[in-house]
Structure 1
Amino acid sequence: MAATNNHEPTVVVSDGLDIADNNVPTQIDDSKNSHHISEAASDDSWPDKPTEEELQTLRRVSGEIPWTMWTIAFVELCERFSYYGAAVLYTNFVNHPLPPGSTTGAAPDGLPGALGMGPKAAQGISLFNQFFAYLTPLLGAWIADARMGRFWTLHLAIGISTVAHVVLVAAASPTVIVKADAAFGAFIIGLMTLCVGTGFFKANVSPLLAEQNTDDRMRVEERDGERIIIDPAITNSRLFLWFYFFINVGSLTGQISMVYVEKFRGFWLAFLIPTILFLIAPLVLWSQHKKYKLTPPTESLLSKLIRMYWYARKRSNGFFKVDWETAKPSRTAISDRPLWMTYDDAWVDEVRRGLMACKVFLFLPVFFLAYNQMTGNLTIQAGTMQLNGVPNDVIQNLNPISIVIMVPLIDHVLYPALRKVGIAFTPVKRMTSGFFMATLAMVASAVMQYYIYKMSPCGWYSNRTVDGVPCDPAPINVWAQCLPYVLIGLAEILTNVTSYEYAFSKAPENMKSLVMAVNLFMSAISAAIGQAFTPLSDDPLLVWNYTVIACIAFVGGIAFWFCFNHLDTEEDKWNMLAKTHYLGRNQPTQTAATKEEC
């Protein structure tokens, strides 16, 4: 562990290596037939490592969750309050016109609005927001992994997001909101800037949180007379469950409070309050910065990854198969080793594992097609039902409410009970179950929409306006939307939370942010695909919209299981790989000639 001073965060390279150590102890075989470098100390064994029999028979439990993790989770809560507190306003801001005589968009007795561009535009902008916010993590991850590190990239993200919130406040100010073109221009600039800040933040906050977990290897302990396995995978599973709990507490409080501010005081104040709360985040981060375990950035990371891939690709048999063993330094004589091959064998295995995880993520856009209905179409659907004084965009908070309730139950009851009876509810099983929960949510939404059309005074055009007055709502209480929102919440816990866990646990040690960003990028792909469904996001086609997406989610879940169920049996193998020493400035297999070249 690197020594700390009074001014800098603790920077740790795994297994006790200081980032200033540019050489790992090696054994060099200069024999005639081979020139291989191998680590002096193997990572394949460690004290209290479970045997194969113990892996099959002993109960597995979580390790302790350090205090520093909770501080980072609170920072995420603040960020999610600010993001969702603003994002929940987008649909009404774009969809509905400015109420007569209003200069704030507030409408205590009606629906608040500003631009009056209609439901298609509102859904399109919602999907664009989803796309761009989950595209920018790729850049934020590269900056963190290769340049600035996660801690400082988070501060950069906070600065960008603060500017974005200020622009949104300006777009909704009384002097601007009455000028539709000016308000729309400022709104789009603020939205896009916030997407950049959010992307940089999202790519790095969960890896920063998870790397505070000091349990990085399975070990056997005895508790209350029972021999058990402390499993880092279970610790990470709990960690990301509670991380998601904090996400939804933040989004819940932000969304509920801001829609009432929007309705009774106007958009400018509803955009301003999240801005103020967001400024708490950097204060909390800085107050704990000396206690955080941080992974240093590794320069030339992507270029080395690409070179390694093509090096192995050229030496592999068959077009689709890559023999990763050929890219390991120990398999290449020193005299034949490329100058860029300064990593160790363990990094090759970690990269292979990370790419495997990225293949798993390729199915997530199908899942997010269903999830994205919650932020657009289901909000508009609520506006065609009997609200009884409840703002239409507050109903979607049934989703985070259900998550906040279910996370403790799943963590303390469901998952421990399954482990106790010997059922391994592995990541692949959990994610598959999430696909089917999303399918049921869309079926419930389709049935709901059918009865709205059937009972609405305007029939299959329930979003119609007559002489500028919205159609009367269907005689169905808006709280009937509970079912789809709760099902989507359960689907999120099973699929989305597990994907975070999978991204962190399978990523190379020096590419945690990048693999997490690839996972997040699947939401952007889903939003882009969702644009193709925008023509279905209006009357009289909304029943077809939900039905088609339900079918896609169902087929996607079946395909996901058949493609990846074999990974269930390999979960322990991938989680117990030797850890790389290629971190920060450390170049494990750097030779004297390579140093001169560099």
Structure 2
Amino acid sequence: MAEVAEMYTQDGTVDMKGNPAVKKGTGNWRACPYILANECCERLAYYGMSTNLVNYMKTRLGQGNSVAANNVTNWSGTCYITPLLGAFLADAYLGRYWTIASFMTIYIFGLALLTMTSSVKGLVPSSCDDGNGACRPTEPQTAAVFVALYLIALGTGGIKPCVSSFGADQFDENDEGERRSKTSFFNWFYFSINIGALVASSVMVYVQTHVGWGWGFGIPAVVMAVAVASFLFGTPLYRHQRPGGSPLTRIAQVLAASSRKWSVVVPADMSQLHERLDKESGIEGSRKLEHTDQFRCLDKAAVVTSGDRTAASPWRLCTVTQVEELKSVARLLPIWACGIVFATAGGQMSTMFVLQGNTLDPRMGSNFSIPSASLAIFDTLSIVVLVPVYDRLVVPAVRSRTGRPRGFTQLQRMGIGLVVSVFSMLAAGVLEVFRLRAIARHGLYGARDTVPISIFWQVPQYFIFGAAEIFTLVGQLEFFYDQAPDAMRSLCSALSLTTHALGDYLSSLLVTIVMRITTRHGELGWIPDNLNRGRLDYFFWLLAVLSLINFLVYLLIASWYKYKKTADFPDPKGEQEHSSD
């Protein structure tokens, strides 16, 4: 029997036909190259068409600065809302493989249509003059662009929350060697993302600026086709986790049961609460969770009454683990909310940073000019350079002082990133002050006047924010994965992604409010179409202040948070410390 057990995975994964997965023929590193290549190509396609999108809105759709910036942030925000749909379908019904495969088809259609809007006669505005950028698209032409963009947004919804988890499914949690490999997989997965982003923010932006939008969007479409082919080619090798049922149903059951028993008194002895007696939690793919004292009102759902003994129903009586699932999600929400302002600041790299760079001197030598959107490459380079520094130097140094395997706790790591992001906004504001002084000194108030300041002075603000991402974004991904209930990890991963969406929406709201207030009495406002007559520095100061306030609120929330504990296994990484440690 032991030999038979060694042949198959012990974490419940199955092969494509639904049979127990054979270790030697499926999963592990043999399946990962196809998943990593898929992620690298998908991210290259996504960033390749989105990094310079604000300039496409201006030149081809004839939109002003604030309108173009809002359209981009609204679309980008939607790309981070749709993962909630994809994660729910994957966890509850389709499984991760079929969710990814289905939504990639929608993605391809969106990219193909976007390519057509920039290259097919009738979809390209006939009034476009590439010499001066004057375009007057018709309503159907504009509508076609937005249909394409929102098809892409829907397509990303099934990919973003599932690919990393699907890759992790290829490693058996109950096999010590494969469990170690799973940690290495996440490192390579993050590396793949940044390789795709690096190529997109350099090569693709150059193609769009100097060759044309048809090629600039066509290449990402072809690359996405390669991503689909790579993913499907590895199909025989994949291991699959069966969908475990709707997590929203389990949450609703706890809320319904606790509401019905609102007048019931929770016993002082927590062992009297309802829980399965065997080792299993009763929830597919989930370990048992220990009882916690926070949100005690939800414990009423696990109190056994006389009615429950005669007619037990999950809508009247829930297990402690099921109650603790909801508690875990509830504890995550305040931490999640603190990521919204951070995402708002990060959204400026594809909007206000690009618009600021459009006014600076783009020359690099005598024969080459760098597009302003390409400066985003320094955010990616910051991550590529500083991740090894953090992993090899910072973590060991901090570990020697704290004794924790990760060095910083997850909450401390995210908090450091929130502080660092403030300095990125300050750097952008300081550059804007010097830019405005140069404008006044040389009288460069025309909309097309180039300020004699090198665009490379924007590098610090990009590089600093990249450092902030290493702490906050990577820490956030790890935190939401570790602290989410086992059977709700896809949904909680998608939840963490929504901070980007709400951050983009908040950015649009801030721009709208700022322009409405600052354009009263006939004033141009802080962010006019001609930035040489605006006060973009005030907008960066506003973001710096909001980021600082957000960090102070985060400190209060982090001091209240308690790390999740499972009943079956104490934390193998030894990181279940209280957040105040």
The 1-side partners of 2:198 and 2:506 are apart by 27
- The match for 1:205 is 163
3-state SS of 2:486 partner? coil
Alpha-carbon shift at residue 302 of structure 1 (Å): 1.5
Alpha-carbon shift at residue 358 of structure 1 (Å): 2.7
The 2-side partners of 1:454 and 1:280 are apart by 48
3-state SS of 2:452 partner? strand
- The match for 2:439 is 456
Structure 1 segments unaligned to the other structure (5+ residues): 13-64, 97-113, 220-229, 580-598
- The match for 1:374 is 349
- The match for 2:399 is 419
Q: Are residue 326 (structure 1) and residue 326 (structure 2) matched?
A: no
Change beyond 3 A, Cα 1:340–1:74: farther
Alignment of 1:17-416 (within 5 A): 66=29, 68-69=31-32, 71-96=34-59, 114-173=60-119, 175=121, 176-179=123-126, 180-181=137-138, 182-215=140-173, 240-315=186-261, 321-328=295-302, 333-340=308-315, 345-388=320-363, 389-416=369-396
The 2-side partners of 1:130 and 1:5 are apart by 35
Change beyond 3 A, Cα 1:563–1:2: closer
- The match for 1:446 is 429
The 2-side partners of 1:184 and 1:77 are apart by 30
Contact 1:295 1:510 in 2 (8 A): no
Contact 1:11 1:295 in 2 (8 A): no
- The match for 1:26 is none
Contact 1:72 1:209 in 2 (8 A): yes
Contact 1:72 1:205 in 2 (8 A): yes
- The match for 1:429 is 412
- The match for 1:506 is 483
Map Cα deviations across residues 338-361 of structure 1 (whole Å, 9 max, x no partner): 155797543432332233223310
Larger CA deviation: 248-257 vs 336-345: 336-345
Alpha-carbon shift at residue 213 of structure 1 (Å): 4.7
Q: 1:549 aligns with which of 534, 543, 546?
A: 543
The 1-side partners of 2:19 and 2:332 are apart by 29
Contact 2:13 2:241 in 1 (8 A): no
Alpha-carbon shift at residue 554 of structure 1 (Å): 0.9
3-state SS of 2:162 partner? helix
Alpha-carbon shift at residue 418 of structure 1 (Å): 2.3
Contact 1:123 1:376 in 2 (8 A): yes
Change beyond 3 A, Cα 1:212–1:566: farther
Contact 1:236 1:501 in 2 (8 A): no
3-state SS of 2:242 partner? coil
Amino acid at match of 2:41: C
Structure ranking higher in strand proportion: 1
Amino acid at match of 1:8: K
Change beyond 3 A, Cα 1:413–1:283: farther
- The match for 2:576 is none
Change beyond 3 A, Cα 1:148–1:345: same
- The match for 1:22 is none
Between the two structures, name the one with larger relative contact order (CA 8 Å, sep ≥ 6). 1
Contact 1:123 1:537 in 2 (8 A): no
The 1-side partners of 2:309 and 2:43 are apart by 50
The 2-side partners of 1:343 and 1:66 are apart by 39
Amino acid at match of 1:448: L
Amino acid at match of 2:541: T
Change beyond 3 A, Cα 1:451–1:293: same
Contact 1:89 1:259 in 2 (8 A): yes
Contact 2:172 2:178 in 1 (8 A): no
Alpha-carbon shift at residue 115 of structure 1 (Å): 2.5
The 2-side partners of 1:562 and 1:7 are apart by 47
Change beyond 3 A, Cα 1:509–1:2: closer
The 1-side partners of 2:414 and 2:360 are apart by 33
Structure 2 segments unaligned to the other structure (5+ residues): 1-9, 22-27, 127-136, 266-293, 364-368, 516-525, 570-581
Map Cα deviations across residues 397-448 of structure 1 (whole Å, 9 max, x no partner): 1111111112222223322332244254011101111111110000000001
Contact 1:9 1:292 in 2 (8 A): no
Change beyond 3 A, Cα 1:300–1:243: closer
Change beyond 3 A, Cα 1:293–1:172: same
Contact 2:301 2:318 in 1 (8 A): no
Q: Are residue 558 (structure 1) and residue 552 (structure 2) matched?
A: yes
Alpha-carbon shift at residue 313 of structure 1 (Å): 4.3
Q: Tell me the TM-score normalized by structure 1.
A: 0.75
Change beyond 3 A, Cα 1:237–1:324: farther
Amino acid at match of 1:407: V
Map Cα deviations across residues 170-189 of structure 1 (whole Å, 9 max, x no partner): 11015232342244222111
Amino acid at match of 2:91: D
Alpha-carbon shift at residue 134 of structure 1 (Å): 1.2
3-state SS of 1:299 partner? coil
- The match for 1:591 is none
3-state SS of 1:78 partner? helix
Contact 2:347 2:504 in 1 (8 A): yes
The 2-side partners of 1:92 and 1:357 are apart by 37
The 2-side partners of 1:231 and 1:349 are apart by 28
3-state SS of 2:418 partner? helix
Amino acid at match of 2:357: A
3-state SS of 1:203 partner? coil
- The match for 2:468 is 491
Change beyond 3 A, Cα 1:121–1:545: same
Contact 1:382 1:478 in 2 (8 A): yes
Map Cα deviations across residues 360-382 of structure 1 (whole Å, 9 max, x no partner): 10111111111011010001111
Query: How many residues end up aligned between the 2 structures?
Result: 489
- The match for 1:532 is 509
Contact 1:325 1:331 in 2 (8 A): no
Contact 2:304 2:317 in 1 (8 A): no
Change beyond 3 A, Cα 1:7–1:73: closer
Amino acid at match of 2:429: A
Alpha-carbon shift at residue 194 of structure 1 (Å): 0.6
- Report % sequence identity: 23
- The match for 1:36 is none
